[in-house]
Structure 1
């Protein structure tokens, strides 16, 4: 009997140790899966920009946002977006590298890769707000200060750039991360589509769709592709589901 009890004790101890070991391994794997970032290869030019900006403490958060972006994973670095020619309206010479840099990438720059998306935007209502067309008298509606803060901060999405392109891509796609998931958040649309004259975000959030989003949306992956013909993988639509995707 003593031998049997000893064996039972040993089995029990080993079982407990095994369970503890499995829990530790599971915890490590969960932590690793949450902290894993995409592997990126940084070209020499981009690394030079990163080193200089980091040393001077300039736009450090933007660098981190870029590192987590799809652009970074695909090898699209600083120069691909900020490359400039001598006669470009926003060109300046970087004092550290003697390279011409564009201060303000415009839809024309985005169109080098996203030609269809830029054309689609240029043909949309977002791109053609009559009070931002050339020679429009904005003061017809309000005094210039009220117009600037009450209208232009949203309607600058139809900004006309000196290079002839129209729009503000980063009004929806936040700079340097350019995340499609961020652009699809109803709150992104709600930055402008809000208030008594266009209460779209209020209407959405008070709808059944909005209630479902508020309850479960934090767990949704909004970075899905809408070009593959597959069913959109979210339980309820967000703004872009009907108006963009």
Structure 2
């Protein structure tokens, strides 16, 4: 019986290999050699997962052997490793080349058609060709995104409070821990899950029963995902598989998957901004694949990646900014209020931060920064110069100075509004009008959260990305910031009035 089964599988693979070969003759995908192992993968998967296969065939990976590009001038390179293993160098970057790397480190490695294959391709695998990019990413806040959220006691409490199940018990709401599936489809959808290998399982396929790893918290492409090989991150968070396109990564829709209102409204603000308007109107004619990226020739207005990480040059080829995959390295201020806007952290692992009050936050409730863990003034000035140099590709120095001066004012004013709301909360907790053992679960506390997490952030992002006055004013902007503050005051006044009457 086993012999018959194996025989049928071999016949199936043989037929599909012939089909693949004939298809390759009729539809020429590439002049680059595809390895025998990858051809075997395609022979089956062209039928089972044709979308993935076709996507890969249209990718740069399918058309590129590392040995053909490794000696390009540095400024034109898309790979940064000084050398590539000989067994990979002469073939296109295919299924087997990625899904077999570092097999001994992967808990999700399994025997698939007599080859050791793993399911989850990780930054450690991509590092084979992209070592500099992975090293840069590994020190970024994005690579620590899961840890930042789940290992910080304050953020974890907020996460659990928002996403946990609530049940009614007489006159109380009972909060239960959120399920893995809820965390997976909410916060960890962007921050990344922990991919665990539970065991193995048998699955039914068109060619019989197969034994595969049983993965927990998969699928997930969160940017700070913890992988079965122990690495952090997911390159496909931005470079969607299986085309892994630089064009996809450079367009703002990709960032908009996670950087979305109400807490991080970068995409929404960009869409409404002057830059976003130009991109929406004219972007279809721009070149999103060139390396290096020429300002004024390839693109006429910035996208997220222009300002935050791309290698940019002038039309004459002069370097404006170097490529980086540490996405905070050009930023001097953190707009995202925790609970106030503050200088960028020195380390991507922000779980190490402790403020003067002993909390794992970059500022105290009175807005005193944890300076030991934040970049100093000199570093802030240095980074702002780098950023301003990008702006200077299109704008005058007067324009740039005016823009950032306005943004500084906005940061100070929104921090003041958050501090006013916090002063209300401190008085409320002091008088035991609310229980601060969980500062996130009561209605007045959630009004306070909106003040710094939604409204102040929206105003700051709008100011930083310029030209989105509706967001600054009405859409989670100054209107809501002011109205919410008044509601908090009214709530506190009512509580005081009730308390006095009881005396």
The verdict on a shared fold, with TM-score over 0.5 as the criterion, is yes
2:99 matches 1:82: yes
Residue matched to 1:20 = none
What is the aligned counterpart of 1:139 among 152, 160, 169? Answer: 160
Residue matched to 2:266 = 200
- Retained in 1: the 8 A contact 2:225–2:233? yes
Q: CA deviation at 1:177?
A: 0.5
| Secondary structure of the structure 2 residue equivalent to 1:101 | strand
Q: 1:190 to 1:36 in 2, by over 3 A?
A: farther
Where structure 1 has 5 or more consecutive residues not aligned to the other structure, the ranges are: 1-34
| Secondary structure of the structure 2 residue equivalent to 1:216 | helix
What is the aligned counterpart of 2:53 among 32, 41, 63? Answer: 63
Indicate the larger mover: 178-187 or 157-166: 157-166
What is the aligned counterpart of 2:301 among 216, 236, 241? Answer: 236
- Retained in 1: the 8 A contact 2:38–2:97? no
- Retained in 2: the 8 A contact 1:86–1:100? no
Structure 2 Cα separation of the partners of residues 49 and 162 of structure 1:
22
Where structure 2 has 5 or more consecutive residues not aligned to the other structure, the ranges are: 1-26, 65-91, 165-177, 193-222, 311-503
What is the aligned counterpart of 2:62 among 72, 95, 109? Answer: 72
Residue matched to 1:5 = none
Q: CA deviation at 1:43?
A: 2.1
2:280 matches 1:214: yes
- Retained in 1: the 8 A contact 2:225–2:234? yes
What is the aligned counterpart of 2:133 among 117, 125, 138? Answer: 117
Structure 2 Cα separation of the partners of residues 91 and 182 of structure 1:
29
- Retained in 2: the 8 A contact 1:89–1:163? yes
State the superposition RMSD in angstroms: 2.3
Residue matched to 1:190 = 256
Indicate the larger mover: 150-159 or 138-147: 138-147
Q: 1:113 to 1:191 in 2, by over 3 A?
A: same
2:214 matches 1:149: no
Q: 1:49 to 1:36 in 2, by over 3 A?
A: closer
- Retained in 2: the 8 A contact 1:132–1:159? no
Structure 2 Cα separation of the partners of residues 132 and 169 of structure 1:
21
Q: 1:90 to 1:236 in 2, by over 3 A?
A: same
Indicate the larger mover: 218-227 or 61-70: 218-227
Q: CA deviation at 1:203?
A: 1.0
Q: 1:191 to 1:125 in 2, by over 3 A?
A: same
Structure 2 Cα separation of the partners of residues 37 and 219 of structure 1:
25
Instruction: Name the structure where strand makes up a greater proportion of residues.
Output: 2
Q: 1:197 to 1:139 in 2, by over 3 A?
A: same
What is the aligned counterpart of 1:128 among 117, 125, 144? Answer: 144
Q: CA deviation at 1:150?
A: 2.2
Q: CA deviation at 1:202?
A: 1.1
- Retained in 2: the 8 A contact 1:173–1:180? yes
Q: What TM-score do the two structures reach when normalised by structure 2?
A: 0.38
Instruction: Name the structure where helix makes up a greater proportion of residues.
Output: 1
Aligned residue pair count: 205
Q: CA deviation at 1:121?
A: 1.1
| Secondary structure of the structure 2 residue equivalent to 1:158 | coil
Q: 1:162 to 1:217 in 2, by over 3 A?
A: same
- Retained in 1: the 8 A contact 2:120–2:227? no
Residue matched to 2:45 = 53
Deviations 1:152-187 (A, max 9, x none): 111111112232211011011011100000011101
